[in-house]
Amino acid sequence: MSEMSTTAVVLAAGKGTRMHSAKPKVLQTILNEPMLYYVYAALAPLFRENILTVIGHGAEMVESAFPEKKDSFVIQEEQLGTGHALQVAWDAVKKNGATHCLVINGDTPLVTVEALDRLTSVTGCCDLAFMTITPKDVGTFGRVVRDEDRRITSIVEAKDFDMNIHGPITGEVNAGIYLLKIETIEPLLDALKNENASGEYYITDLVALAVERGLSVDGVQCGDDISLMGINSPRELVVAENTLRRQTVDELIDAGVLIHNPDTVTIGPGVTVEPGAEIFGHCEIYGASYVKAGARLGSYTYITDSTFETGCNVKQFCHIEGAGVGPDCVVGPYARLRPGAVLKRGARVGNFVEIKKAVLGEGAKASHLTYLGDADVGAGANIGAGTITCNYDGKNKFTTVIGEGAFIGSNTALVAPVSVGRDALVGAGSTITKDVPEAGGAIARGKQININRRLKKSD
């Protein structure tokens, strides 16, 4: 790639009818990330910011999913085929001053940097080059047609393929990744026609046009490489997701992460897990999560965008989003940490406890049946079962502050804004609406009245 400058064009305007979804095909998720995310990840090391994306169906949704790409989107108002999509993007391609253009379908999430580098490195001298595969099932992929001397003559879309005209099916199909020499291919774009079963302008027709005009055409054969397969149906999406899931899990195991029942564990592409961490079956970990060595994540736990320090123990059936779990903390089982939850060293959150936008200081405990929202809980504080912070008045959120060493009795309602001082004690069943002073005590509940009941004996 060093001898030529290349602009990448991602074709992402299609509807993806066979996905049976209101979302554009390129936004269908794999490991909790849009399919297009993976294409960008493969392109980035080779092209940096020199990437254009043609969008059309659901354009606003695609723009919203990738706001950082807003200046590189090209709108295809009418979806008239892949050839038309390239025509729409061509002016932007030339503005970049590149000599070559790599075109890739946005529905190839398994594509690797190595595959793209192979195409750009091996075929830089060609006018047109593309990658081919020989899958077990050729399905609806475009067929590669060669003459008796094995020279490529054309690519024919599946619905237009006729064995009487194009010869027997060889099993070699188009992978949807092309490298075009801009200077020589530009005249061919205007020659594209839509005389086919779909009435669309196919980028694949550039191959036959190039051959007719004596340009050099090459096909990079990649065997049955599944990484180049396009995704057109829910079944293919599931196969791709399982492939990536297994690759990720295997790489982590080989690196020193202990993963029990690995066939059931799902870890997203943005997750970092250090060697020495331990993950149990049926965990799902996504986003920018970070799991440090010595952390333990229990079965059936869902995690996104959270960090776990050395020595922490997350028990089974927890749901954790945007949280930070400190060293030697214990979470769960059946706990929920929502965005902004921070547990400092040795803090404990037990079953059926929900923490939202709250900090638990070192050694603080909320062991059962508690809601702490918009709260700051000091080190060593004990939160009794059934305690809730009443942080919302129907319009605004307010903060509750609980000092170090404070003891909150069971079934207490803390009506924010309110503070409980250091080493203070709140009696069980209280509704606290005023600040409690340091080392003080507070109780706020109705007076107990015992009623003398005289029960008649049954006859």
Q: Which amino acid is at 319?
A: H
- DSSP assignment of 23-73 equals S-GGG-EETTEEHHHHHHHHHHHHHTT-EEEEEBTBHHHHHHH-GGGGGGE
Q: Are 75 and 58 in contact (CB under 8 A)?
A: no
For residue 77, count CB atoms less than 10 angstroms from its CB and return exposed for 0-12, middle for 13-18, buried for 19 or more: exposed
| 450 among annotated binding-site residues | no
374 is in an annotated binding site: no
Q: Is 338 annotated as a binding residue?
A: yes
207: DSSP letter: H
Q: Which helix (H) or strand (E) holds 114?
A: helix 113-122
Tell me: is residue 276 an annotated ligand-binding position. no
232 is in an annotated binding site: yes
The encoded tokens of residue 75 equal 């709108």
Residue 458 DSSP symbol: P
**100 by DSSP, 3-state: which?**
strand
| 14 is known to lie in a ligand binding site | yes
> Is 296 within any annotated ligand binding site?
no
Give the H or E element holding residue 357: strand 348-360
Assess contact for 153 and 170: CB atoms under 8 A.
Answer: no
State yes or no: 25 annotated in a binding site: yes
Residue 233 DSSP one-character state = S
Nearest CA to 27 out of 82, 72, 65 is that of 65
Residue pair 330/351 in contact by the 8 Å Cβ criterion: no
Q: Residue 82 annotated as binding?
A: yes
- Which two tokens mark 299? 């079965």
First to last CA, the chain: 101
Amino acid residing at 216: S
313 assigned to a ligand binding site: no
382 in a known ligand binding site: yes
The answer to whether 181 is annotated as binding is no
Contact criterion met (CB below 8 Å) for 36 and 110: no
Q: Is 142 annotated as a binding residue?
A: yes
Which long-range CB contacts under 8 A does 318-324 form with residues at least 24 apart?
A: 323/355
Residue 410 annotated as part of some ligand binding site: yes
Per the CB < 8 A criterion, the answer to whether 126 and 216 are in contact is: yes
Which residues carry out catalysis?
368
The reply, when asked if residue 157 is annotated as ligand binding, is yes
Extract the annotated binding site for acetyl-CoA.
Answer: 385, 391-392, 410, 428, 445
Extract the annotated binding site.
Answer: 11-14, 25, 76, 81-82, 107, 142, 157, 174, 232, 338, 356, 371, 382, 385, 391-392, 410, 428, 445
Extract the annotated binding site for Mg(2+).
Answer: 107, 232
Extract the annotated binding site for UDP-N-acetyl-alpha-D-glucosamine.
Answer: 11-14, 25, 76, 81-82, 142, 157, 174, 232, 338, 356, 371, 382
